[in-house]
Amino acid sequence: MTQFDYVKTRREDVDPIPNQSLVKVFMRWFTRLNVWVFKLSRGRLMKNFPGGHPICVVGTTGRKSGKRREIALIHLPWRDGILLVASQGGMETNPVWYYNIKAHPDIDVMVGGQHQLMVARQASDDEKRELWPHLLSLYPDFDEYQARTDRDIPVFICMPR
């Protein structure tokens, strides 16, 4: 079992995700609906995840297909840019968008009705440790997600191009 000294939640205090394949299918379809409504309303509808956390729509290039892909993620502002956390609720595998960004770090982000071109890079272990308190101040569940999995959940630092 992998543990990170900055994660305060313990594995035994976290419920496992039942039927991860079914949860992934639900997340994929809900995200497609969320992106569609968010874009159609120019960021006025479906602008928050459950719990009131604001979203952003991240546009990527498919690693294999080369096609444009969009995903709704929690908006995590940081300095002049944003952070993206490939948590997938603490599932055992990285989300597909993680591989797209690793292969093609030029992304675009829509917050509200505003688009911004950005470049993403994966935070180092030391950077993730430093960013962790900020991430938890925006979305405390990340601590539970990291405790749930042996996977080192990737964090991307995205800055304007």
- Flag whether 105 is in a domain: yes
- Flag whether 4 is in a domain: no
- Flag whether 27 is in a domain: yes
- Flag whether 129 is in a domain: yes
| CA nearest to 53, candidates 123, 142, 151 | 142
| CA nearest to 120, candidates 85, 72, 68, 92 | 85
- Flag whether 39 is in a domain: yes
pTM across the whole model: 0.92
Q: The domain containing residue 42 runs over which residues?
A: 18-160
Can you give the pLDDT of all 161 residues of the chain as single tens digits? Answer: 567 889 999 988 888 888 888 988 888 899 999 999 999 998 899 999 888 999 999 999 999 999 999 999 999 999 999 999 999 999 999 999 999 999 999 999 999 888 999 999 999 999 999 999 999 999 999 999 999 999 999 999 999 99
- Flag whether 7 is in a domain: no
CA–centroid distance for 48 within its chain:
14
Matching residue, tokens 């594995």: 11
| CA nearest to 152, candidates 136, 128, 127 | 128
State the CATH number of the domain containing residue 117: 2.30.110.10
CA–centroid distance for 102 within its chain:
13
- Residue 2 has a pLDDT of 64
- Flag whether 13 is in a domain: no
Give the count of domains, the chain: 1
Residue 111 region by backbone torsions, left for phi larger than 0, else alpha for psi between -120 and 50, else beta: beta
**Contact 119/161 with Cβ under 8 angstroms?**
yes
Listed in sequence order, the residues at least 6 apart from 123 whose beta carbon sits closer than 8 Å to its beta carbon are 83, 131, 154, 155, 156, 157
- Flag whether 6 is in a domain: no
